[in-house]
Structures are given as C-alpha cells and as structure tokens.
Amino acid sequence: MLTRKQGSPADRSFGDSAGLFGSLDSDAAQRLAVAAGDVALVLDDTGDILDASFDAREFPDFGDWVGANWLETVTIESRPKIMEMLAAARKGEPHRWRQVNHPSSDGDVPLRYTLVQLGDGRHLALGRDLRDVARTQQRLLQVQQALERDYMRMRQLEARYRMLFERSREAVLIVEADSHRIREANPAAYHLAGARADSLPGKKLGGLFDGASRDRLTTQLGSALGSDTATPIRAALAKGGREAQVAATGFSQNRRQYLLLIITPADERPLSDERPLAEIIESMPDAFVVADEQMRILSANAAFVEMVDAASEEQLSGRSLSRLLGRPGIDLDLIANQIDKDGVARNVTSVVRNLSGTSEEPVEISAVSAGEDTRRFGFVIRPVGRRLREVTTGGEDLPRSVDELTDLVGRMPLKDIVRESTDLIERLCIEAALVYTSDNRASAAEILGLSRQSLYSKLNRYGLGKQGEEAE
C-alpha cells in the first residue's frame, strides 16, 4: 500500500483541482514550487537541469547546476537512485521520496527528492534539506554511545564493589533504616553470625545480638542516620555471646534510607597494619599478580586487570597465568626454575596477552616465591614497549660489545640479532684497520679488500668519519 510519503498524485486529490489551480499564473506556480521544497529543479526526460531555484546562502555550491545533468550533481552511490526516479517518471509511475547526497566543499549535503511531471517531457524535482535531521540523528547516536559507555562503567563499578563486598574480611550488612530488616550480608557476616548461606536477608537485625545489646544498637542506628560521626558501639552476638564492635553509616537510595553496618569481633587482631600494604599494591603502576603452585591466579592488582583488558579481578581469579603471560609451558617454567636456583627471578623478558588473545605487549617480569607447605608465587610485571621502540636495528647506535649484543636476546628476533652481529664485526674490523694504518683510508681499504668508495660508504654508515676526509 502506498503511504502518504510514497503515494501517487491521484491519492487524496482535490475535488475541484481545475477550479482551484487552473488560474495559477507563472509567479504563483513558482512560489508554490519554492514553498514545496528547499531545492526545486526543472528537468527534461534525460535528467538535464533546465532551471533551478534554491537559497544560495544555504547551498553555495549549487550555483553552476543549470545545464548540467542531475546525475553529475550527486555522489556515486546516489546515482542509481536518480536513474530509478527518472525512469519511473518517464513511465508515469507513482513517485516516491528518495534521499540522495550532493558533494560540496563542507561535505555531503543530504536532500530528499520527489519528481512531479510538468508535461512536454519536463519534470519538477522538489528536494528537502535533511542536514538538520542528520545532525539530530548524529546527536542521538552520540548520546546513545555515551549512555552505553556509562552503562559499561556502571557495570564495571558494580562488579568491583560486589567483589569488595563479598571478599571483605569484616562482616558487612545493609539494613533498612525504618524496619531494621537485613537486605544484604557478605560471607563474613554469615560466618560471624553462625547462619546458613542466604538465610539473613529479610530477618530483623536485632536477632543477631543478645537482648542487653539491642537497645544500645537501636540508639546507634538512629544516630547514624542523623550524623556521619556516630561512635561505634560494642555489642554481644546472640550466638556464643562474642563481643563485637558495630559501626553504622546511613545512606539513601531510590528515596529510601538504609544503613551500612561493619561488625568487627573485639578479639580479632586489627587489620590496620595490612591495609596500607594492600592499598599500595593495588595502586602500583606496575602489574602485580599472586599465583599458586599450579600457576593459577589468586589475586591481581588494578594495573594487571587493565593490562589484560579484564572487567575485574574476580574475572581473573582461578585462571591459568600461562594463558596470559609468556610462551605457554616455557617462560613460567624458566622463571620457576630460576627462583628455585637463585631464590628470585629478575627482569625476565616476556609478553602479556589480553583475555581475548588478540594482542600482546612486551614486558619485564620479576618474581619470588614464599611458603613451604603451600607455595605462592608473586610476579611484578612492567611494560617495556617504549624501551623496545628505542632499540635500533642499525646505524649509529649499534651494540658496542658482545655483552650488549647478547643482551638483545628476547627483545629482538634472531634474524635481527644476526644482522646486528654482522654489522658489529664489520665495524670493529674497520676501526682496527684505521688504527693499524694511522687513519690512512686508502691503506685501510687495501688491507680490508674493499674499494675506496665502498670503505667511504661504510665509514659514513657507522659514523666513523666523513666521506672523503682521507689522511695523506
């Protein structure tokens, strides 16, 4: 079925079109054509433009169209549409709107055209400017992409905070402020309360503490809603009568108030001495990984999570480190053997792969191990891509010694190292010949079996002297 935008001229016609439009003069017809579109073109059957009407300020590049063919004014991908519109007009078929693009100095200009038959083999092409629509669509696309990026960031943050909530050694509870019912509890809270997994949500908070502590706990929760500096209190747990310190903080979400409770057993050793170390490792610019004896990842800091394009540390936990670090079955075994021999592995050259395996990054690895019954490995991984880019493959910065040359193993392919060694020997021989001949270039060329021009070329290549400066 033809829609309003794709209908034939006979659809929804006026009842008395001859009486209404029969007296239109040329000026009125021109005003009608100009009002119907931003661009109006009068064409013949072949598509040649006989006349045109448009706002020169809006379309400054359209001024030389009269006399040209309509096909020549559009981009290559729009030409089939123009040909289809002209063919349909010659057959008298119902017109339909088609979008085409016109090249201009400011980029392509999108217009939406329809053809109207004028008789005598002429047609009127009416075009409407779509640049405002395109800009609106572009803004909508940008907004959608920004929303998707924000959504991904929120998902990543949620995963990180969920991991922190689940792995916290302290018991953490989220409680409704009005009813004091537990909404969420981490594994440490279940362990401290002696409760089964998933049994705490929906229960009253007071049930976790003995009767003597409940009044003080209620007062503490009310203070936490009104102040950020509520003093923690001591309370006895219902099971076992164990003393614990309860700290509460109020927050709002979805127009409801909640309380975040952190419960620390009074007889538990404070973890304050460990926290600075954990924070330092987490914020290190170099990647840090702890693995078990089977080289499975136990923990990793934020730098390693970012290095392998993971969403969170939880995504890496339990994965085989050999799938991400070094050549499988080679590099990690070499590092472990070096640790067994020397107690430490320093600056081992290797590569790190991302989770999808689509990219690699050159790195240096230092590692140690700890533990006797349960052995653990710690890896510090430092990207060295910038440093490797500074390693040249020839010219003035060739290695000066065999030690420097062998130091390239692991940083360059073997064929490049062989080329480096050839250049090193050649340069050393030329330097020895110049010393032997007291810098007489002609004699040096003779004892090296080279032509004078070839020696000059090599001197210039290795930076050993300017070409043509021969000692007499």
400 and 384 fall within a common domain: no
Among candidate residues 388, 412, 439, the one where a domain is terminated: 388
Examine residue 183 and state whether it is found in any structural domain, yes or no. Answer: yes
Query: Residue 428 sits in which domain range?
Result: 395-462
| Euclidean distance between CA atoms 206 and 275, whole angstroms | 30
Task: Give the pLDDT score at 5.
Answer: 46
Examine residue 61 and state whether it is found in any structural domain, yes or no. Answer: yes
Task: Give the pLDDT score at 390.
Answer: 46
37 and 90 fall within a common domain: yes
Examine residue 274 and state whether it is found in any structural domain, yes or no. Answer: no
Backbone φ and ψ for 54, nearest 5 degrees, come out as -165, 165
Task: Give the pLDDT score at 119.
Answer: 76
Examine residue 1 and state whether it is found in any structural domain, yes or no. Answer: no
428 and 357 fall within a common domain: no
Task: Give the pLDDT score at 456.
Answer: 87
252 and 206 fall within a common domain: yes
Task: Give the pLDDT score at 102.
Answer: 92
Q: Look up residue 318 and give its amino acid.
A: G
Report how many domains make up the chain. Answer: 4
Q: Do 424 and 405 form a contact (C-beta atoms < 8 A)?
A: yes
Among candidate residues 337, 366, 388, the one where a domain is terminated: 388
Q: Do 244 and 263 form a contact (C-beta atoms < 8 A)?
A: yes
Task: Give the pLDDT score at 403.
Answer: 64
What residues of the chain score a pLDDT lower than 50? 1-10, 270-272, 388-396, 467-472
Among candidate residues 373, 388, 403, the one where a domain is terminated: 388
Strand 109-119 relative to strand 233-236, pairing: unpaired
83 and 21 fall within a common domain: yes
261 and 290 fall within a common domain: no
Q: Say how many residues make up the chain.
A: 472
Q: Do 209 and 180 form a contact (C-beta atoms < 8 A)?
A: no
CA 10, 16, 18: angle at the middle one, nearest 5?
90
Task: Give the pLDDT score at 400.
Answer: 53
Examine residue 273 and state whether it is found in any structural domain, yes or no. Answer: no
CATH of the domain at 244: 3.30.450.20
Examine residue 153 and state whether it is found in any structural domain, yes or no. Answer: no
Examine residue 261 and state whether it is found in any structural domain, yes or no. Answer: yes
Question: Which CB contacts under 8 angstroms, 24+ apart, belong to 149-156?
Answer: 155/311, 156/311, 156/312
361 and 408 fall within a common domain: no
Q: Do 304 and 289 form a contact (C-beta atoms < 8 A)?
A: yes
Given the structure tokens 């990207």, which residue do they identify?
Answer: 383
24 and 114 fall within a common domain: yes
Q: Do 384 and 363 form a contact (C-beta atoms < 8 A)?
A: yes
